[in-house]
Structure 1
Amino acid sequence: MAEIITKDSDEFKELTGWIKKTGKAVENATVRIRPTIADEHYLKGDDVCRKLHISRRTLQTLRDEKAILYTSIGGTLLYPESGLYEVLKKNYRDFRRFMK
């Protein structure tokens, strides 16, 4: 005789638990994936602010002053990751040498 599985059965609860864990894993993986265009990784504005520890207003100022590269696709501003690294390298100052 076949066993009937209901929403209250342990098997059903275990299965739904696995489905929820899988869904969370997919969500987490999706967040880490960055879009690439012509082998370049692009970041959205919120990602740039988080990585550089700056406000959205500061990001706007950097755009206005043409200090960072960006492109607009479908109304979304995207920032080439390599361009951000170039700006950081160009403007890097080692303040530790002044602390001695």
Structure 2
Amino acid sequence: MSEIMTRKNERIKRFFGLLDRMLDKIETALTGCKPTLNGERFLTNQEVSDKLKISHRTLQDYRTAGKIPYIQLGGKVLYRESDIQKMLEENYRKAWQ
């Protein structure tokens, strides 16, 4: 084990390759992660529209009609993720056949 480890050493190349792959996986995992506020995640108009597969206009109609709870701070509208989940569960209809 008296050999000097350099960048050309195969063990060093493998080690740094593993580190690169780990970093890529960590970055991928953090991309979809949003910080919470008091344990609650908040979603934007775009995220709720995508999740419900509806247009921004339909989402606005739901807000106006009081069908969907929301928070408005200035021009920014946010939705509690738990409120969206609860709304979906309350409107779930089982198949009857």
TM range, smaller chain: 0.5 to 0.7
1:57–1:33 CA distance, 2 compared to 1 (3 A): same
Q: Secondary structure of 2:41's partner?
A: strand
Q: Which residue of 2 aligns with 1:50?
A: 50
Alpha-carbon contact 1:42-1:79 (below 8 Å) kept = yes
Q: Which residue of 1 aligns with 2:69?
A: 69
Alpha-carbon contact 1:34-1:43 (below 8 Å) kept = no
Q: TM-score, normalised by structure 1?
A: 0.63
Rounded to whole Å, the distance in 2 between the matches of 1:26 and 1:76 is 30
CA drift at 1:92: 0.9
Q: Which residue of 2 aligns with 1:81?
A: 81
Q: Which residue of 2 aligns with 1:90?
A: 90
Alignment of 1:8-19 (within 5 A): none
CA drift at 1:27: 6.4
1:78–1:25 CA distance, 2 compared to 1 (3 A): farther
Q: Which runs of 5+ in 1 are unaligned?
A: 1-20
Q: Which residue of 2 aligns with 1:6?
A: none
Q: Which runs of 5+ in 2 are unaligned?
A: 1-20
Rounded to whole Å, the distance in 1 between the matches of 2:79 and 2:46 is 10
1:73–1:89 CA distance, 2 compared to 1 (3 A): same
Rounded to whole Å, the distance in 1 between the matches of 2:73 and 2:45 is 13
Q: TM-score, normalised by structure 2?
A: 0.65
> Alignment identity in percent?
36
